[in-house]
Amino acid sequence: MEYAYFVASGRRKSTPLKRWRVAFTMIYSCRAMCSIAKKQISGVRASSYVSLEIDDEDDDDRPPHPSFPRVDPDALRCLVKHRRLDALRRLGGASAVAAELRSDAEAGVSSGDLGPRREAFGANTYPRPKPKGFFWFVYQALNDLFLMVLLACAVFSLAFGIKEHGIKEGWYDGVSIFLAVFLVSAVSAVSNFRQMKRFEKLSAECNDIIVNVVRDGHRQDVSIFDVVVGDVVHLKIGDQIPADGVFLQGHSLQLDESSMTGESQPIDVDANKNPFLASGVKVIDGYASMLVTAVGMDTTWGEMMSSITRETAEPTPLQERLEKLTSSIGKIGVVVAVLVFAVLTIRHFTGTTKDENGQPLFDKNRVTADGVISAIVNIFQDAVTIIVVAIPEGLPLAVTLTLAFSMKRMMKENAMVRRLSACETMGSVTTICTDKTGTLTLNQMTVTKFWIGNEEVPIGSNSNSLIVPKILTLFHQGVGLNTTGSVYCLNSTAKPEISGSPTEKALLSWAVLDLGMDMDEMKRTNNVVHVEAFNSEKKRSGVLVEEKGSRKMVTHWKGAAEMIMIRCSHYFERNGSVRDIDAESKMKFEKIIEDMAACSLRCIAFAYKITEAGNIHADEEEAPKLDDSGLTLLGFVGIKDPCRPEVASAIAACRNAGVRVKMITGDNVFTARAIAVECGIITSDDIDGLVVEGQEFRNYSPEERTKKIDLIRVMARSSPFDKLLMVQCLKEKGHVVAVTGDGTNDAPALKEADVGLSMGIQGTEVAKESSDIVIMNDNFDTVVTVMRWGRCVYNNIQKFLQFQLTVNIAALVINFISAVTTGKVPLTTVQLLWVNLIMDTMGALALATDRPTKELMTEPPVGRVDPLITKIMWRNLIAQAIFQVAVLLVFQFMGQSIFGVSEATNNTLIFNTFVLCQVFNEFNARKLEKQNVFEGMLQNKLFLGIIAVTIILQVLMVEFLSRFADTVRLDLEQWGICVGIAAISWPLSCVVKCIPVSNTSS
């Protein structure tokens, strides 16, 4: 829009636009003056005051805390969130911020200072979304079409009952149905609510990450929720950044910020160009220490996670299969209900249906609208109840219960389930690909062999006296500076505290105790210029060191012996002289490596090279690449990691269960073979071709790989790609594969596997995020325990399925035949709802909580597509259903004459016998094949408790709630008849199980 200038009488008049410009200029000038005044005032304060210009929308105006009067919490919070590099530089860098936070890059914070820090800057937690309440689950339970229809019927029944019989007598039927429906819904809601609470607890445990911080001068592991502002956190490959912070020191640090930005490109972090580390991102290379500047809700990650509701109701594959089965059975129930409704309606209005006195219920000479509607409502109510009983709603509930129960038990046995479906899938696993270190072995590494040149040096506290000073100094540098571990010693007499990976701890312990290395002295006299961190591709790590006194530059390498050896052209002898590596010496070194490997030792080599200082340019755009050619070999060490004592029996259990175990390791062929033999992966019956190297496997043609994959027991010198390739090949051949892993590079294989199992102690956060189950003690025996529970889940579901289908078939057949022949259904709406409660909820609790048995690990794995109902199950359930139908039909047609009782008593006998048949059949369902159904029963207290509660409630229903349940009281003889007939199901089960059938689909 344009405004014109109008001129009159030689004078220029201002327009609205001009007036606006004048006003804008004045406002802008005032703001500029205020800004200058602010800067003048702020200049009076100390230059180290942590004060940043903050956008108004982010300023919460939080005053400095008395414990940290010179620190502005809001400014500190925005430092990383808004990536304010210029502000960090003005403050003097990360070290100046640490000083104001009373922290130190080496000593960290004081343990007694944590409370004030939480008060000043908050805790590293975020509010969870409000969980669903109990009444939400009640609503969900009632939100079922057929239950709603029953409630509508109850309303009509209540209204017409009161109208026909008066309020004193007419309210029983309607109110009884209301109470029965709400009872069924309440029990289901309580069960689901409890499982939700249990899943929430497990979810919280999944989020409880352990981080390594420096407090009181030494490194220690703490929960991520205990991290405070000012903490110095040490990071390595695979770690998750626990809070917002700035880079203190480290090398080659790369982050994966895809969880925050969606970009998968690695981000380089250093002290100069990008010193910011955001909470929630992952370390994919290098190592570093960071200073925490913001925690909890002051981080972008905290804000994001607080708004996320983690759903625990995601259906598992087994639940989805059961939903389809439930739908199919429900359709049959609807068909039967429609037929029953049609038959009962026709019989009623034709006068065929008669009352207790033999008179027709429908008299066409005395027809009233109320009577017709009341009759239709009652018939419709009976038909809908049949549908409610026919639909096995307890099946998905049974899966939830058994999964929740197994998860709780597995947690006690050191396995934390991150994804529910993994429990089921473990029951179908045919192959387990496991790593070696820490899983098959104890992960308690010690140096047991030491070689310099061709000569072995005894291991002991006097080893340093047997080595010339020059070589000793180089070993001190190679071990003490080329490491991600640390050594903390309170004083000269105290035992040093050594932290790091098991390999690093073993090497540092050996260097300190046997070679007399002083870690603090090494750091004072040498400066680390650049580091190439260890990863499973290179299988070595390197460090460029500058000796402060001589300004000499030395490159040190350590790693797998073969990888270092091929890069060496010279070697040291024990007396300090340097020799060329010729063919003869090379053969000797290879023999040393092979001998150590044959003794199950991991062989680590050390080498070094003098580097010209002129070749190093600290101001280059990219960090220098360390020279790894023409190295001088310092020596070898052999590290022993004993096998876990229980591994051999665990692998034998896998073999008996039809599950193959394959070991995938980065060690050389000889070490891998020795460990595999010790663990029982390779037996005396196996041929030599069962051990391959990763490169050999990689170079196979696809056809050759597919042909040999089943024969391979061990893959040595493997890369993460080889592990992924093996998993893909096994899955292509139809195997269900479980994979164990602990490193960042294991993430692709863990994701590709049907079940990924990460290690809780040595596993990185990347590996845990990629896995389905976390093995908390890193023990292979726990993997077998998880597999046993997986089979138990499937077996428990089959038990409950057999039990419930027996009830469904019996109830449908009895009601249909009775409706067609007599025009009445023997079981009333309330009685059928009570049966529904017994079989759906209480039956699920009783049968879904059985513990694993020994027999489960003597059978082959269950296929992923195998039918849920086997021929064995059909045999059992059809036999029991026929027995129940036959008995109850005899009661229906001849019960009054046989027992000499009234119709009401006979109907009560039918109801009581039917319920007791289900109680006795619950025992039969405990064992699908074994005749002794009582084996192990005393170990499941919950089963016995539910049986007792069911019997007590049934006695109450019959004897004391007769108006509610439409029953009459029975004497002891009649109770004996009901119990005696129901107990026949036990010997019947023994006889039926003698009929041979194959355990396959029908």
Rounded-to-5 percentages of helix, strand, coil across the chain: 50, 15, 30
Tally of CB atoms within 10 A around 159: 17
The H or E element containing residue 637 is strand 631-640
In angstroms, the CA 356 to CA 904 distance is 9
Structure tokens given for 71: 């620190």
Residue 460 makes CB contacts below 8 A (sequence gap 6+) with: 514
Are 54 and 38 contacting, i.e. CB atoms less than 8 angstroms apart? no
Residue 93, burial from CB neighbour count under 10 angstroms (0-12, 13-18, 19+): middle
Query: Which SS3 state, helix, strand or coil, does residue 898 take?
Result: helix
Rg, Å, the chain Cα set: 38
Distances (CA, A) of 50 to 78, 294, 295: 11, 13, 17
Kindly state the DSSP code that residue 836 receives in the 8-state scheme: H
Q: Which residue reads 């309330």 in tokens?
A: 830
Q: What is the DSSP string of 689-758?
A: GGEEEHHHHHHS-HHHHHHHTTT--EEES--HHHHHHHHHHHHHTT--EEEEE-SGGGHHHHHHSSEEEE
Catalytic residues: 435
Structure tokens given for 543: 């460090």
In angstroms, the CA 627 to CA 215 distance is 36
Question: HEC profile for 404-469?
Answer: HHHHHHHHHCCEEECCCHHHHHHCCCCEEEECCCCCCECCCCEEEEEEECCEECCCCCCHHHHCCH
In angstroms, the CA 105 to CA 88 distance is 16
Q: Which residue reads 């019960």 in tokens?
A: 895
Are 52 and 78 contacting, i.e. CB atoms less than 8 angstroms apart? yes
Q: What is the DSSP string of 580-626?
A: E--HHHHHHHHHHHHHHHHTTEEEEEEEEEEE-GGG--TTSSSPPPP
Query: Which SS3 state, helix, strand or coil, does residue 262 take?
Result: coil
Q: Which residue reads 């079922």 in tokens?
A: 144
Question: HEC profile for 71-126?
Answer: ECHHHHHHHHHCCCHHHHHHCCCHHHHHHHCCCCCCCCECHHHHHHHHHHHCCCCC
Question: HEC profile for 761-830?
Answer: CCCCHHHHHHCCEEECCCCHHHHHHHHHHHHHHHHHHHHHHHHHHHHHHHHHHHHHHHHHHHCCCCCCHH
Are 725 and 733 contacting, i.e. CB atoms less than 8 angstroms apart? no
Give me the amino acid identity at 489.
C
First to last CA, the chain: 81
CA 749, 751, 753, 759 dihedral sign is: positive
